Amino acid sequence: MNRTALARGLSLACYLGLIAFGMAWAIRLGGLPRNQISLTLLILVGPLLLPLRGILAARDKSLVWGTLVALIPLLHGGVTLWAGPQRALGWLEFLLALGYIVAASFFIRWRAQDQAS
C-alpha cells in the first residue's frame, strides 16, 4: 500500500468517523434533552454531509471543503475536552477532525505529486 492510498483511507475513516460520532453524540453520548437532539444533529452532522459525495469520489475541491467543515467538530471537540465533563469524548472528536484535516491534506498533495511524475 502506497502513501497516497494510506492517506486516502485514513481521511475517509476519520471523516466517516466524524459523522458517526456526531450522530452518536447528539443521540446518546452528549446527554442532551430530547428537544435539542434535532438541532444538535443539524449543527454537528449537517455540514459534514454537504461535501460527502465529493469526498467519497476523491474530488480535490470537496476534500478541501471537507477540511473547512471539519473545523466545526474540531472546535466542538476542543471546547468539550477543555471545559466539558466528557473529556475523553472531546479528545476523540478532536483527534478525528484533526486526523481528517491532516490526512486529506497529505492525500491531495501526494496524489498531485504522483500525477505530476
Amino acid 32: pLDDT: 82
Question: Is the pLDDT score of 100 beyond 80?
Answer: yes
Q: How far apart are CA 15 and CA 37, in angstroms?
A: 21
Q: How far apart are CA 76 and CA 73, in angstroms?
A: 5
Cα 15 to the center of its chain, rounded Å: 4
Please, what is the Cα angle at 97 between 93 and 99, to 5 degrees? 115
Tens of pLDDT, residue by residue over 39-69, are: 989 988 999 999 999 999 999 999 999 999 9
Q: What is the number of H-type helices and E-type strands within the chain? A: 7, 0
Average confidence (pLDDT) over 93-110: 96
Show the cell assigned to 33: 434533552
For the chain, give every domain's residue range. Answer: 3-116
Band (pLDDT 50/70/90 cuts) for residue 86 is confident
What is this structure's pTM?
0.92
